[in-house]
A = this chain, B = another copy of it.
Amino acid sequence: MFDAIVFDAYGTLFDVQSVTQESERLFPGNGSIISRLWRQKQLEYSWLRALMKRYATFDEINLDALRYSLQQIGKEPTDEVVANLAGQYLNLTPFPEVSEALQELNSVPLAILSNGTPSSLTAVVQNAGLESYFEHILSADSVKSYKPDPRVYELARVVFDAPKDQILFVSSNGWDVAGAKQFGFSVAWVNRSSKVQEELGVGPDYVVESLTGLLPVLS
């Protein structure tokens, strides 16, 4: 039914909130707020850097977002703490169903398209033991911009050399869903926690509660 399936990584395959535990250990009582602020700022900085044309790698943006978040709640962003927490991004936990679902979806070529740097993406995928499932791990770093810039989605279209709507793009991030649909992909939104749909004038073709929900879509 589709020529390829392309997955977002952070928040879709990997749980970005799995940094909460280490944040809580380092700053008791603040693990949850640090994790949420950090993710919010990480996204904001990627959009702002892309828009103002001052590219920095996602690894750098991630450190900047963490430093800002710690300062905002009155904590000192020492080099040691920042390096420790940022290191957690190489060991994010995949959502529980990911490995089994990828095995089932594997009859179609699979890829990752993410804002992350090539080295960080390779590390997080390998540390989760998922590397055998993906034909390509594509990074926004190739075009020195960030999703939802159409030039990033174009990377996946080019590599599969397929019509846009023959590629199924899968993301849990509402803004990424809108960007991919605006680009022209067929899009599935993995809405794990009953979030409200973003009001960006364009929405997903499919809404599923987990990657397992993609199986009926493909048959």
Contact = CB atoms under 8 A, between A and B. Distances in A.
Contact of A149 (B52, B175, B183): B52
> How many copies of this chain are found per oligomer?
2
A194 to B, nearest CB: 11
Interface residues of A, number: 32
A interface SS class? helix
A148 interface: yes
Contacts of A48: 47, 148, 175, 178-179, 200
Nearest to A64: B199
Contact of A52 (B53, B56, B148, B196): B148
Contact of A200 (B54, B149, B175): B54
A49 B199 contact: no
B47 A200 contact: no
Interface of A: 44-45, 47-54, 56, 64-65, 67-68, 71-72, 146, 148-150, 175, 178-179, 182-183, 196, 198-202
